[in-house]
Amino acid sequence: MFLRNDCLLPDGMRMKQERFNKDWMSAGDISSTGLDVALRGAGWHFMWVQKASSRFGCGRTEASAISQATTRALDRIGDRFNAAEVDSVKISTYPGFRIARVTAHARQIQEQDSLSANNETPIRELQRR
């Protein structure tokens, strides 16, 4: 699971997060199911959006190829969504390098029970109002 840097969470909800890149934080080892249960318990909503982003990355190691592919997949998640779930990671091994394919799905964490009708306003901006 990944959360945008400015992702709002319910009051009192603590989650281990590590910086992944300039825009995203890794949400530790929590599963989407665990996060959903915690958010619903606080009266919030964790929405799955069908839009998926699948990207490739190349590196000398498996870890570097996965990191590059994950960054590219997260870059394709629309600005209006504040979370993403990595669905799959596939590695191809070649002499001297690795190629990773990462698929991530857009997710939304919010207090409201439906996505905004105004597609022009990022949802995280609506949460601040």
Count of the separate structural domains present in the chain:
1
Token pair recorded at residue 102: 């990462």
Share of the chain above pLDDT 70, in %: 89
Distance from C-alpha of 113 to C-alpha of 61, rounded to nearest angstrom: 42
Asked whether the predicted pLDDT for residue 47 surpasses 50, the reply is: yes
What domain range is 25 assigned to? Answer: 2-128
pTM for this model (two decimals) = 0.81
Instruction: Please count the other Cβ atoms lying within 10 Å of the Cβ belonging to residue 116.
Output: 16
Q: Is 81 helix (H, G, I), strand (E, B) or coil?
A: coil
- With beta carbons less than 8 A apart as the criterion, state whether 51 and 84 touch: no
Distance from C-alpha of 77 to C-alpha of 7, rounded to nearest angstrom: 14
